[in-house]
Amino acid sequence: MKKQLLLLLSIVSGVLLYGAWPMSPFCFLIFVAFVPLLIVADNTKKCLSFFGYSFVSLLIFNAATTWWIWNSTDIGSIAAIIANSLLMCLPWWGYHLMLKKYGRPIGYLSLLCYWMLFEYIHLNWQLSWPWLSLGNVFAMNPNWVQWYEYTGISGGTLWILSANIISKILIHKLINNRKAIAGLAAILVAIISIPLAISFFILNERKEILPSKSNVVVVDANMDAYEKFDLFVATSEIQRLISLSEGSMDSTTKLIVWPETALSLPTWQDQITTNVYYQPVYTFLQRHPNVTILTGIETYKHYGNYPPTSTARKGDDGQYYDAFNTALYLKAGQPFQLYNKSRLVPGVESMPPFLNFLAPIFERFGGTTGGYGRSDSSKAFSIADNPYKPAPVICYESIYGEYVSTYIGRGANIITIITNDGWWGNTPGHKQHLQYARLRAIETRRWVARSANGGISAVIDDYGNIRASQPFDKASATKFPIPINSTLTFYVLYGDYLYKIASFVALLLLLWHGVKVVKARFKTSL
């Protein structure tokens, strides 16, 4: 093929990926989105050339789906989009190498495993950015993926890659040998339809959980994301949160959810109860002793002369401390409970040491380039006379399926997502973030109460359906009798096992290839 046609096919692949992604209604395009790039791989001899073609596809995909990061950090967004596109090229480069050296069967197997290894690593390393993991693409179509309660999004990734590979083989056969397509067509239909059939079977067997006798109130004061840290704004917004809460709650309200950093004036963790600015919150709780508040707050923890964590920083007084993006659980007459955000946004909330030189280009949006401290593990909040045991999922953490499932393993019977989505404005960013929460509900079979400052606050049921939501850019409060579920799904019990299996096979393939290369060089040297 001519270079111009190969480049065109690469562009088409990127456009199809974008066309399939939330918030597009054309999700079905994902089953053929990689076909043009697979054709490019067949017709490109040099690995470096194919790396360039795949970079074109994946740069279009990244830029078109996550351009809204620009609203928070301009130079940082460019760096993030380019870096993520380059990382996505690595499994494709490995696929092309295996394809040319060992043929199509080994090549296709390597693509499946290398891509899933990439996604698994991207979920777990310091520059983690799983926003574009392929299995997320079905977030707007939860009825297609009810089986995520068994596989999580890794099952969706496997489904997508398998369908694309068979589609490409079918097209190749159509071009070269029309007599051999019936079997492949049947396989393709089966690959796409069987997961759909399983999903609709699960829906058909669904057992409705009765509404709870208690209710949850989800509050969004719609604070300005950039002004909320000002003293005057912060204190007035506390009164607004209280007013919205009291305007919606009733005698059966047990839990009130406020957004991430709703209490935006930083305070030391051992001074939360005495902080003068937060006394109105305690007065509110004393008026309503049966109610518990789950809210976001910025906190500090003092260490003294020696830093016990890698994120600790030295203050002007020479003493070390950590800053935290914290979830706070408050009830009158009870000790408060804390959870510090663990999965941090790369660049603005955490920075690997080897990239510290880039810190100045990241602007603050709900984080700090100095690096936040973090909790070692998830946590379920619990108070004896409250039936709700919330998982305090903070913002970015909600895109980590396996991590969210660990809250459930610790006893959470409801997922509360507190987030500050106002950094991105009215762009696809806050909309995609809402949609991804639907997948967490399916994976865990837990209802979700989502309080999103500057985004879309919502209540999502355990099958991923949005039961109540509030418009973007509007102060609101939503009361809902959220049911409680205590069963544990297969995914909660076993997590991302598909990623782990694929990663193991990928490592075996790399080892096998390495042995082959060493043997070949040894023979050449004799």
Contacts of 471 (CB under 8 A, 6+ apart): 456
| pLDDT over threshold 90, residue 12 | yes
Residue 203 has what pLDDT?
96
| Element spanning 414, H or E | strand 414-420
**Mean predicted confidence (pLDDT) in 118-135:** 95
| pLDDT over threshold 70, residue 1 | yes
**Mean predicted confidence (pLDDT) in 30-44:** 97
Q: In whole angstroms, what is the distance from residue 425 CA to residue 522 CA?
A: 59
| Element spanning 266, H or E | strand 263-268
Distances (CA, A) of 383 to 238, 249, 331: 24, 19, 9
Residue 365 has what pLDDT?
38
**Mean predicted confidence (pLDDT) in 421-437:** 93
Q: How far is residue 20 CA from its own chain's centroid? A: 18
322-357 residue pLDDT tens: 999 999 999 999 999 999 999 998 877 876 655 555
Least confident among 153-167, 419-433, 495-509: 419-433
Assigned token pair, 123: 């979920």
The more confidently predicted of residues 161 and 210 is 161
Least confident among 109-123, 338-352, 434-448: 338-352
Token pair 């409680």: residue: 484
Distances (CA, A) of 367 to 12, 176, 261, 312, 324: 37, 55, 10, 15, 9
44-69 residue pLDDT tens: 999 999 999 999 999 999 999 999 99
| pLDDT over threshold 50, residue 100 | yes
Residue 231 has what pLDDT?
87
Q: How many CA atoms lie within 13 A of 382 on its CB side?
A: 9
Cα dihedral 23, 26, 31, 36 in deg (nearest 10): -100
The pTM of the full predicted model, rounded to 2 decimals, is 0.93
| pLDDT over threshold 60, residue 409 | yes
Residue 275 has what pLDDT?
95
**Residue 179 banded pLDDT, cuts 50, 70, 90:** low
**Residue 521 banded pLDDT, cuts 50, 70, 90:** confident
* Residues paired with residue 294 on neighbouring β-strands, in sequence order: 257, 329
Residue 369 has what pLDDT?
42
> Yes or no: is domain 215-494 CATH 3.20.20.70?
no
- The chain-wide mean pLDDT, for the chain, equals 93
End-to-end Cα separation, the chain, in angstroms: 39
**Residue 6 banded pLDDT, cuts 50, 70, 90:** very high
| pLDDT over threshold 70, residue 161 | yes
Q: In whole angstroms, what is the distance from residue 406 CA to residue 416 CA?
A: 14
pLDDT over 70 for what percent of the chain?
95
Q: In whole angstroms, what is the distance from residue 234 CA to residue 224 CA?
A: 10
Contact at 8 Å (CB) between 308 and 340? no
286-299 residue pLDDT tens: 999 999 999 999 99
**Mean predicted confidence (pLDDT) in 90-108:** 97
Residue 526 has what pLDDT?
67
Taking the domains of the chain in order of start, what are their residue ranges? 3-206+497-525, 215-494
In Å, the largest CA–CA distance within the chain is 87
Assigned token pair, 22: 């939330």
Contact at 8 Å (CB) between 253 and 217? yes
Residue 355 has what pLDDT?
58
Q: What count of other Cβ atoms lies within 10 Å of the Cβ of residue 185?
A: 14
Residue 333 has what pLDDT?
93
